[in-house]
Structure 1
Amino acid sequence: MKNWRLVKMKRILALALAALLCLALAACSDAGQADTPADAPADAPAAQPEKAADYHDVKAKIMIIGKNSTDPFTNWLLTAAEKVIQEGYPNVEYVVTNLNDDPSNIVTLLDQCVLDGYDGVLIQKGSNSINSDEWYQNATAEGLKISAINAVAKDGAASCSYADDYGMAQMMAEYMAQALPENAQVVFFKGPDGNQAAMDRVDAYQEHLFEVRPDVTVIAENFVEGWKKENAITLMEDWCQRYDTIDGIISVNDTMALAGLDVMKNAGRDISGVYSCGIDGLADGCLSIEAGELTASILQNADVMSEEGVRLLMQMINGDIEHEAYIVDGVMITPDNVAEMIQMHRDNGIIK
């Protein structure tokens, strides 16, 4: 009986000690997690940096991505973006790179940004026809903020700053419908096949120029891969050999229109009576209008496009907005206002 009572007493003491030990451990646990909400999940994300009172003061690291390193409009966009950041966002670090005309590099660069701790990306993807929705959504889910320039973003995650391609081409088509002489014979540079921006511009020319002026004959037309000058030159050289009379050059961008004029000049043709047009308002296009060669262009203002794209990105990083779109208005450029446009290009450093 004595032995049984002794065993019972030992069990009671063991239980009491175990209870005291559990209480001690619980107290230590509570003390170590005093600042953590009781319902916070174990894998909750780290706290975000403190929000700046003004998004211009936000501290961030961003990557600026262009479609390639040789396109004149891309260079204008990226130069403008750098200038905006340097002058208005003192706490922003950035690097500049490009896609080398390969859209698949978008995924690689976004992944790199996530792994290297970037806060945001300002990107010119090159074409609205590239479906980047899933890429942007996945990167956004990893905490990266994205602002697209020179392209629409409809993914529900990225902001965008862009121009209305159809609207710009409609403005130019209506102008040329008034300018072209009766029974004019023209050639038509249509831009890259399948590129949404090019197709929108082609549609606008068709509906607001060629359908309105059935007397105008398109004697030659073709797509131009990559919007590139050298590809337009090859086409125009062939057209000049085939056609003695070319009254007009209709183009969906400045670069191809200027290429066509250069070929005609090099072939010894008089271009003083040739009606030609483009879109973008590039520095070279403006200088050509001033010289009495290119008839007109539409300003697709890369300065404004980049400025608004950077603003949207900084506001996203600072938590001011989720995502928004900004549409840049096109402006007709003719001999009447070209001096103002040339001064703009001097001010932004494109014309030295």
Structure 2
Amino acid sequence: MKIKALKGMVASVAVSALTAGAVFADDLRIAYTGYSTDNTFWIGVAKSAAAQAEEMGVELIDLTASSADAAAQKDAVDRAINMGVDGIIIGSVDNRAFDASLDNAKRKGIPVVAVDTGIEHEHVASLVQTDNLAAASIAGSYIVDKLDSGSVLILGGSAGHQTGNARRDGVKIAAEAAGHEVIFQICDWQDACAYETTVNFLQSNPDIKAIFSAWDPGALAAVSAATELGKIDDLVIVGFDGNPANLVSIEAGEQAATIKQDNTRMGVEAVTNLIGLIKGEEVPSFTPIDGILITSDNVGDFK
């Protein structure tokens, strides 16, 4: 009789544990901090991540700062950890800024997924990202096909930024392999820098025939600078992101092309992978997403 009673108690505890687990799954809270809330690409990532979280019955807390601020983003990650969230998604401003925070997340068993930009830390279990090197290689090949001669100016992101470096390298390798001189300038993803750099180099170096910007707003800044200098018709300007304003510029014959990132899929995959990690499932350590070349030939398909 005692043995039967004990078995009944064990069964009861097991049922209670399963019930508690189900409640826990329904009450998951995850935090998201993207690059900024004033960037078209990142607005799209945030919207799709929020929609996917809602579909999966998970609360998503968006802690993204209004502008790109590495210190504010690190504080946001620390706040999320102190809140006791079940997982964190980071679209980093500076992918080198999180070591102590991620050490803390590891100690507390809070899984972390990176989106768009890799973060070199052992606790980041999954990266969802455009295959930047391959996509930029497509952009580089497009530029090479359009040029008979001349130099290529590359407007880059931040020093040491994994995403920016891959985009730079894809274009640089293709252009140099075809015999073109490549001029690279760090612009920290700042549109004003892209504009000023374009003005300065176009005035001092008439051999520049193509400009690649590692982000689409920078390409629009280059378009503005080239237009004001009366050189827009002599240049091949290519961006990266596939933002709506850039598609308008391509349709108008100003910007030549852009590489579209599927920011909707990036948000979806980041949330899906994070929930998988929280549940103890195996998820891909790297989810590559193809980039798409948009030119005047196919821009209408993406507007």
**Coarse TM-score class (shorter-chain normalised):** 0.7 to 0.9
Say whether 1:108 aligns with 2:75: yes
Q: 2:214 aligns with which of 252, 258, 281?
A: 252
Partner of 1:192: 158
Q: Distance in 1 between matches of 2:297 and 2:20?
A: 51
- Per-residue CA deviations over 1:36-66 (Å, capped at 9, x if unaligned) read xxxxxxxxxx9994158xx9x7431122101
Partner of 2:227: 265
User: Does the Cα contact within 8 Å between 2:138 and 2:293 map onto a contact in 1?
Assistant: yes
After TM superposition, the structure 1 = structure 2 runs for residues 199-348 of structure 1, keeping only pairs within 5 Å, are: 199-212=165-178, 214=179, 216-218=180-182, 221-225=184-188, 227-243=189-205, 246-267=208-229, 269-321=230-282, 324-342=285-303
User: Does the Cα contact within 8 Å between 2:69 and 2:93 map onto a contact in 1?
Assistant: no
Q: State the AA in 2 paired with 1:315.
A: G
Query: What TM-score, normalized by structure 2, do the two folds share?
Result: 0.82
User: Does the Cα contact within 8 Å between 2:150 and 2:207 map onto a contact in 1?
Assistant: no
Q: State the AA in 1 paired with 2:108.
A: E
Alpha-carbon distance, 1:246 to partner: 4.7
Partner of 2:115: 149
Q: State the AA in 1 paired with 2:115.
A: I
Alpha-carbon distance, 1:175 to partner: 1.7
Residues 244 and 189 of structure 1, relative CA distance in 2, 3 Å threshold: same
Say whether 1:69 aligns with 2:37: yes
Q: State the AA in 2 paired with 1:126.
A: V
- Give the length in aligned residue pairs: 288
Q: Distance in 1 between matches of 2:46 and 2:288?
A: 18
Residues 176 and 157 of structure 1, relative CA distance in 2, 3 Å threshold: closer
Compare CA radii of gyration and give the structure with the larger one.
1
Q: Distance in 1 between matches of 2:19 and 2:89?
A: 21
- Per-residue CA deviations over 1:263-284 (Å, capped at 9, x if unaligned) read 12233x1523421112222222
Question: 5+ unaligned residues in a row in structure 1: which ranges?
Answer: 1-33, 36-45, 343-352
Residues 264 and 157 of structure 1, relative CA distance in 2, 3 Å threshold: closer
Q: Distance in 2 between matches of 1:60 and 1:155?
A: 23
- Per-residue CA deviations over 1:49-89 (Å, capped at 9, x if unaligned) read 4158xx9x743112210122333322222122223334x22
- Per-residue CA deviations over 1:101-147 (Å, capped at 9, x if unaligned) read 3434455333322332321212211344x264553343033132322
Residues 188 and 160 of structure 1, relative CA distance in 2, 3 Å threshold: closer
Q: Distance in 2 between matches of 1:48 and 1:174?
A: 56
Q: Distance in 2 between matches of 1:211 and 1:71?
A: 33
Residues 287 and 241 of structure 1, relative CA distance in 2, 3 Å threshold: same
Alpha-carbon distance, 1:330 to partner: 1.3
Say whether 1:169 aligns with 2:136: yes
Question: 5+ unaligned residues in a row in structure 2: which ranges?
Answer: 1-8, 11-16
Q: Distance in 2 between matches of 1:318 and 1:297?
A: 38
Alpha-carbon distance, 1:150 to partner: 0.7
- Secondary structure (helix, strand or coil) at the match of 1:278 reads strand
Q: 1:50 aligns with which of 21, 34, 39?
A: 21
- Secondary structure (helix, strand or coil) at the match of 2:63 reads strand
Partner of 2:6: none
* Identity, % of aligned positions: 24
- Per-residue CA deviations over 1:177-227 (Å, capped at 9, x if unaligned) read 1111x2234433133232222222222222211232x2x345x642112x1
